[in-house]
Structure 1
């Protein structure tokens, strides 16, 4: 059942990965008009496998429109709900050319995830090193590197801190990812510290000065992602339709301050601010919108995968023995198998 159309908002969702798609669905269910912008050729985000990476930036850096792609039309009166957003996008036409389009939205949901922009180290000589450098973000298969090294020459030396050195043809950076929103202009009201602390964000979702007209889905890591993203999407959609209300600006900022202080006191680096790893937090978040808590089988499957991955990262996906938990999952009303229910009796 959708809400009263009089409360319908024009909403732009940036990103068509898992978090963006569920955001679009929940917004539509609440009666909002939704436009989803995606820079790739299809939906899916990181689940969209792209075998041909020859045309990509070898360091995995995505290209966005320059300038204020997503900026304010009007800040409104002390950040009330009459805030508007001007969003510029590029659409490919039949002749292969691109046409720039500008639209105005009541709200923007940023759902670009946390695996879209690689975190690059700063190493002396990176800019002048003559051979290939790439990030694991675009690594697919090992064949391109087979039989490439013919001899060891000084031109390709890599010197380590302990004085040891190797000769390499390629440097492959497996240094993780950072949050970045080059398309978003918030006049400094949302920033990224040390590549990993996005904020200020109330409950990892809402910037107090701009909520609910601006929100983020998919920022937290080390959680059972899809149910959590669905909780986020429901909360955003219901806030925009007037079914729910956020705390006051002061209360949200206080909650953010206390959370950051707790992370700092625990010695958590800023770039891991949004690493949650807490089932109870996911359940508390779900309470905001009356979403079901994580089922026990889902928690156990998650813990089992972590234990198996620690034991054998290369083959744990093929060696799991969780048939009982999977059978329980398939019987759950909150689980929909995409390819049918497998037969575990064989």
Structure 2
């Protein structure tokens, strides 16, 4: 038996009939009540909990944070490793930047039977059609209160292990934030709602002398002080090995702390402060690197030359915001194919480029369009690696899935689309959603929602600098 996975449809009534309903939890008895664990109290976890309780199940929700909301909880703190690859780094789960607003209308984002209605009479709320992240969090808290879910949630409780026992039972080991001792609970099923982007994806940048660095698996240089002697360590995310730069082994029983890392013999750097991101050198290229997961505010980029890699929503938002304080911002993306750099209209210091070709010891980065940039910071707006789970609905056999994959690759090849866009749903987002709903015996998305989504996407393409 596999853990149950519930994938709720975030849908609502047409915008012409929006009103905030008053609903009490509706219990629909099933043949047998089960004890079910839900891991995560974000949007998916909250809806899964409501639906499970409607079916008459006994639900316990585990949430490691001190409040519900998942990815919509803003945390100004960042990880001790700005690229997010160091094995022993301080983990921060939030990825929101301070200025973030939704890039979808609130009507499209709301749940089917609980509309995301603007509360214009409440001065604390953001009534805009494209609200800020705090408004989304408040909406989720309203949902929790409306359906009486809070009593089922164990806040500041992290799940550290899930294991299959005999007779189809699952043991869930959890630990309170203020305790080292873990406790076990037994459930009939487990619903995993903790997201699927768990590891930052960073760009692969060749360095000079044909030394190729894939930051997703290659070594990272850190500098620290050992017995009053400066040592640069080579920390591999895979093998957790620590070597000096000149390949002399440093017999360390544990890695050096990167929460406070000494970068010279007179200055210690507190890496919990975002303004100190740029005190860590990574790889042969001497500049500083950060993943957008650890971006919060533009201040640390003041008067710096920044190369931002990526072309999706976060890259768009962050590049424009950084341009207000940086000396220069250069956006490099594989999807940009024009042969020359292009200065964006309305900006004196923001250019788009094709992808970075190589990085060099003198601090320069060569671009495929022929540009040679002297760069202070490389910012990776490149998303994360996906981790998927399966559950109530049986998966096809491996042979069937591989056959489908090969057939899909042939369609990509025929359309001239690179394989790297395999998981880019693009125009087929709702087609996939409706297929998934059918598999779960749920209703498809409403036509008005699809039309609003399409119109919003077109508006973004036509008016990129004034959207939303």
Query: Above 0.5 in TM-score?
Result: yes
User: Residues of 2 paired with 1:116 and 1:313: CA distance?
Assistant: 29
Is 1:172 matched up with 2:345?
no
TM-score of the aligned structures, taking structure 1 as reference length: 0.57
User: Residues of 1 paired with 2:362 and 2:64: CA distance?
Assistant: 35
Question: What do residues 128-176 of structure 1 show as CA deviations (whole Å, max 9, x unaligned)?
Answer: 325432111221221221135799xx86614336585433332211111
Unaligned runs of 5+ in 1: 77-81, 181-197, 199-204, 213-245, 318-346
Unaligned runs of 5+ in 2: 1-25, 86-90, 94-158, 206-211, 222-281, 306-325, 328-359, 413-417
User: Residues of 2 paired with 1:30 and 1:264: CA distance?
Assistant: 40
Q: Quick check: which one's strand share is greater?
A: 2
Greater Rg by CA: 2
User: Residues of 2 paired with 1:259 and 1:90: CA distance?
Assistant: 41
User: Residues of 2 paired with 1:296 and 1:119: CA distance?
Assistant: 35
SS of 2:176's partner is strand
Picking from 448, 451, 466, the partner of 1:300 is: 451
Q: Is the 8 A contact 1:14 1:38 kept in 2?
A: yes
Is 1:132 matched up with 2:288?
yes
Query: Judging changes above 3 Å, is the alpha-carbon distance between structure 1 residues 262 and 274 closer, same or farther for their aligned structure 2 residues?
Result: farther
Aligned residue pair count:
240
Q: Is the 8 A contact 1:156 1:169 kept in 2?
A: no
* Residue equivalent to 1:103: 185
Query: Judging changes above 3 Å, is the alpha-carbon distance between structure 1 residues 281 and 255 closer, same or farther for their aligned structure 2 residues?
Result: farther
TM-score of the aligned structures, taking structure 2 as reference length: 0.44
1:182-331 alignment runs, 5 A limit: 198=388, 206=390, 211-212=391-392, 256-257=401-402, 259-267=404-412, 269=419, 272-273=422-423, 275=425, 277-288=428-439, 290-317=441-468
Picking from 54, 70, 85, the partner of 2:170 is: 85
Root mean square deviation, CA, Å: 3.6
Q: Quick check: which one's helix share is greater?
A: 1
Distance apart, 1:270 and its partner CA: 7.1
Query: Judging changes above 3 Å, is the alpha-carbon distance between structure 1 residues 17 and 294 closer, same or farther for their aligned structure 2 residues?
Result: same
* Residue equivalent to 2:50: 25
Is 1:44 matched up with 2:44?
no
Picking from 34, 38, 46, the partner of 1:9 is: 34
User: Residues of 1 paired with 2:465 and 2:180: CA distance?
Assistant: 42
Distance apart, 1:306 and its partner CA: 1.3
User: Residues of 2 paired with 1:314 and 1:34: CA distance?
Assistant: 45
* Residue equivalent to 2:164: 73
Query: Judging changes above 3 Å, is the alpha-carbon distance between structure 1 residues 272 and 3 closer, same or farther for their aligned structure 2 residues?
Result: same
Picking from 359, 365, 376, the partner of 1:159 is: 365
Query: Judging changes above 3 Å, is the alpha-carbon distance between structure 1 residues 165 and 91 closer, same or farther for their aligned structure 2 residues?
Result: farther
